[in-house]
Structure 1
């Protein structure tokens, strides 16, 4: 029998369904982490394609191919940023079976939907991160004979990654919360589990209070960990430049101490 007090009912639900809540939270984290990771890979690919430079001296074939690729990538970004993830999940999971006779598993559909949705947002983030790097970096790389691919891999992307790291973390936090829409295709994540527990005893307020606290714990812990990662990527405040030029000081930049004032 359910206790009469609010906290008593919460304690009762945790005792009876604590394992179910934890299992649902675990599924939520798996989908969010995998979806964010794959979405970042998609976003980097799309973002790089969108920033391919086209010069007037390039051949007509290259201009045409790059133009077509950029148009396709722009359509992808606008479509998946302009439609809700819930609608995308319904369309992909049920539409693929109806139109193309492709029977996806629920888990594959969940990873696929979160990945392509995150990829659309990350594509614009990556594009902005690449454009935020000073043009002098690209010109210097070309001056020493680097190709566009070498410049992107060795010079531009490492700097862009540091700039867009906060947005990657933000997308992970969003995905932790937005995985609840996947309950519409039957994924047993935290929201789906909470609905089942609430419906069993009609304790909607108590059950969703537990879910709300669990979502907050997940997002708060992830945000703190990502903040630490950002801090690590910033590097030390004071450092010496390592050089191999024998004409320069062996330790790079050197700060001479101030002379003591003569008495």
Structure 2
């Protein structure tokens, strides 16, 4: 992408990179301290400071996995952000989302983030359920009718009528040609019979199955996509507000880069502001 980012968004990109670098520095310094304590222990395992060194070594070794995990998460997050920005068209109009922070009575930014993350999890769960939905019986029967019609069209039998000979030729009689399947033959002979049987199987499906029409599924998925981005924008606004007050709230690794950066693609629908 060649278009410059809004100043506030650019500042957030730089701040994220700085946070990643700080996490890497913390990880490296801890590892060096662990190596030094291990060296000291190896050189003088029974010295005056052996016990205190052992305690400090155990403490640092307990912290290091968390430090490494945090650095890895931040590195992955920045990689996702960089990848997203690299795919933005050069002619797109960008702006600062400017989401207002709204706290409920007696709510802190930490509690607000917890509440919003609960709503995000619930929405993602619903999104997964809608994505796994199956067509309604009406749609399934329409698809079955098209399927039976396609089966009947796959073969074009020819009659072979000669003196002392009568047969039906499927295909061109070429060596190696595929023989028609039983379903294709049945659909050609009696498509109504085949369709009736398929419709009976459709009616016998599990009644508790998550059925949804194609139009409802498409519409709801589009709505949830917008709702999810709005929730993530609000979540990030509270994270930023908490940071200004001196409280650090860790980012979610799978947050939408637009919400994380406060980036608005001009023309996008958003309710968070």
| Same fold flag (TM > 0.5) | no
Between Structure 1 and Structure 2, which shows a larger proportion of strand residues?
2
Between Structure 1 and Structure 2, which shows a larger proportion of helix residues?
1
The alignment's TM-score, normalised by the length of structure 2, stands at 0.24
Determine which structure has more spread, i.e. the larger CA radius of gyration: 2
